[in-house]
Amino acid sequence: MFPQGSCFYVALLYLYQAQRHREYRQKIISNYQPLHRDIYSMHPSAFFVPTFLKAINDNTEESFRNIMSEPSPGVFTFEMFQPQFCKLLLSEVEHFEEWVNEVRFRIMRPNTMNKYGAVLDDFGLETMLDKLMEGFVRPISKVFFPEVGGSTLDSHHGFVVEYGKDRDVDLGFHVDDSEVTLNVCLGKQFSGGELFFRGTRCDKHVNTGTHSEEIFDYSHAPGRALLHRGRHRHGARATTSGHRINLLLWCRSSLFREMKKYQKDFSSWCGECLHEKKERQQQSVVATRSELLRREGESTA
Ligand SMILES: O=C(O)CCC(=O)C(=O)O
Ligand SMILES: [Fe+2]
């Protein structure tokens, strides 16, 4: 037991893990030969569809709303990537996986929920994905998710998930380790694989029930993006045929994470905090009304 020094040991473990991860990345980067070097740096006009680029250049709520739909509160969908970019990225991921199998390299999967998929940051795409977050996700998140640090997103975890035969089948109900998540379908052809959303929750309320208005299911289409809060509970149904491969960018804000430590009320984004707040307000209205009636009764008695 080391309660006094426990912080020290946690910090040490963290440093050790970070060092091991750096070595792991270095090993990949110095041995893996990319297939499509063009996608390793940001080329907006080659990556994005013109409507998306225009909205980003205009950079107003109206320009974003013009290209987006919000089929359920806090879930935004829009056309984002050009088919050619999806094709190149898919082929780069396949090429990376072939290399991994060839040299029998043990890769780290995106997270504990996936047996397949690859972390894009680990094989050279980190800088490009940082630009994607800073120049394209942050401006939108600043407008639609300011209450969860949307304007101060400063780090990311970028990966692909793969479902279908010989891949993952589905994904359990979870929240992401992110403030804002970008999820873009790269392809290929598939059926099933719908995402199901069940309301946004803070840590305290993450396992509470769902209100009927929070139920939302979504079917992915290649090239199309979804943007939602990381704390918006969701999962993916089984992909029943074909292959579904999606790019995920978990965007984080260190400032938001620090500030969150000192807050208790998250009713600006947690569906359950909001529900509780409204109930408290209702109870206080009822209590005030009955107190007024009681006083009125006393004065007329
Ligand atoms: O399967 C999907 O499209 C969603 C993946 C996901 O939610 C995640 O990796 O966090
Ligand atoms: Fe997720």
Residue 9, domain member (yes or no) = no
Which residues neighbour 17 within 8 Å (Cβ) at sequence distance 6 or greater? none
CA of 18 to the centre of ligand 2 (A): 23
CATH of the domain at 248: 2.60.120.620
Residue 2 banded pLDDT, cuts 50, 70, 90: very low
Q: What is the pLDDT of residue 1?
A: 44
Residue 286, domain member (yes or no) = no
Residue 246, domain member (yes or no) = yes
Q: What is the pLDDT of residue 44?
A: 98
Residue 244, domain member (yes or no) = yes
Query: Which among 181, 247, 226, 234 has a CA at the least distance from the CA of 69?
Result: 226
| Nearest atom within ligand 1 for CA of residue 113 | 9
Residue 291, domain member (yes or no) = no
Domain that holds residue 246: 18-269
Give residues (CB < 6 A) around ligand 1. Answer: 161, 171, 176, 183, 195, 234, 236, 246, 248
Ligand approaching nearest to the C-alpha of 167 = 1
68 pLDDT exceeds 70? yes
Residue 196, domain member (yes or no) = yes
Residue 150, domain member (yes or no) = yes
End-to-end C-alpha distance for the chain, whole angstroms = 68
3 pLDDT exceeds 80? no
CA 21 to each of CA 100, 122, 279: distance values in angstroms, whole numbers, following the listed order: 17, 9, 47
What residue owns the CA closest to ligand 1's atom 2? 236
Rounded CA Rg of the chain? 23
Tens digit of each residue's pLDDT (9 = 90 or more) over 147-201? 999 999 999 999 999 999 989 999 999 999 999 999 999 999 999 999 999 999 9
Residue 293, domain member (yes or no) = no
CA of 301 to the centre of ligand 2 (A): 63
Number of domains in the chain: 1
Pocket test for ligand 1, best of 161, 234, 243, 252 (most atoms within 8 A of CB): 161
CA 88 to chain centre: 23
Q: What is the pLDDT of residue 266?
A: 97
106 backbone dihedrals φ, ψ, rounded to 5°: -90, 110
Tens digit of each residue's pLDDT (9 = 90 or more) over 6-19? 788 888 888 999 99
Residue 300 banded pLDDT, cuts 50, 70, 90: confident
pLDDT, mean over the chain: 95
CA of 190 to the centre of ligand 1 (A): 15
CA of 292 to the centre of ligand 2 (A): 49
What residue owns the CA closest to ligand 1's atom 7? 235
CA of 231 to the centre of ligand 2 (A): 9
Q: What is the pLDDT of residue 175?
A: 98
